[in-house]
């Protein structure tokens, strides 16, 4: 069965420090992977996605994520956190080999708190 795990409910980091939000996935085929961010009382915003090619994907607001096929992971990273990065982060996956099943599988979200 397809699934996405975000093992940390909450991540705390000091402003200026690097941040990592973890995501692991399980699909029967090859994955398409996405990161979205949700600011308080707002809808989800797309950050970045991995489709194919370079395992390091760069996205909006200075975020990047690295696809690691052997570890089935797609961790979100940023070299220097800002207080304004505090939000809820969602990882999502599709199985590219699933034919007509194009449903996006969502993680439960990780709350990131960046402390001044």
Partner 1 sequence: NAGVTQTPKFQVLKTGQSMTLQCAQDMNHNSMYWYRQDPGMGLRLIYYSASEGTTDKGEVPNGYNVSRLNKREFSLRLESAAPSQTSVYFCASSELLASTDTQYFGPGTRLTVL
Q: Which of 24, 27, 34, 76 binds partner 1 (CB under 8 A)?
A: 34
Binding residues for partner 1, how many (CB under 8 A)?
22
Distance, in Å, from the CA atom of 113 to the CA atom of 111, rounded to the nearest integer, reads 7
Q: What is the CA radius of gyration of the chain?
A: 14
Q: Which of 32, 66, 75, 82 binds partner 1 (CB under 8 A)?
A: 32
Binding mask 70-109 for partner 1 (x = CB under 8 A): --------------------x---x-x-x---xxx-xxxx
Q: Which of 26, 44, 86, 111 binds partner 1 (CB under 8 A)?
A: 44
Q: Give the C-alpha distances (Å, rounded to integers) separating 46 from 29, 63, 66, 67.
A: 23, 11, 16, 17
Among candidates 92, 40, 57, which has minimal Cα distance to 48?
57
Q: Which residues contact partner 1 (rule: CB under 8 A)?
A: 32, 34, 36, 41-46, 49, 51, 90, 94, 96, 98, 102-104, 106-109
């Amino acid at each position: 069965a397809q699934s996405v795990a975000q093992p940390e409910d909450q991540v705390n980091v000091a402003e200026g420090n690097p941040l990592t939000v973890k995501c692991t996935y399980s699909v029967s085929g090859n994955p398409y992977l996405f990161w979205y961010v949700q600011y308080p009382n707002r809808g989800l915003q797309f950050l970045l996605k991995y489709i194919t090619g370079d395992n390091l994907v760069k996205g909006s607001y200075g975020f990047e994520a690295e696809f690691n096929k052997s570890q089935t992971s797609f961790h979100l990273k940023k070299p220097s956190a800002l207080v304004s990065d505090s939000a809820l982060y969602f990882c999502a996956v599709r199985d590219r080999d699933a034919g007509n099943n194009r449903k996006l599988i969502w993680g439960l979200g990780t709350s990131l708190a960046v402390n001044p």
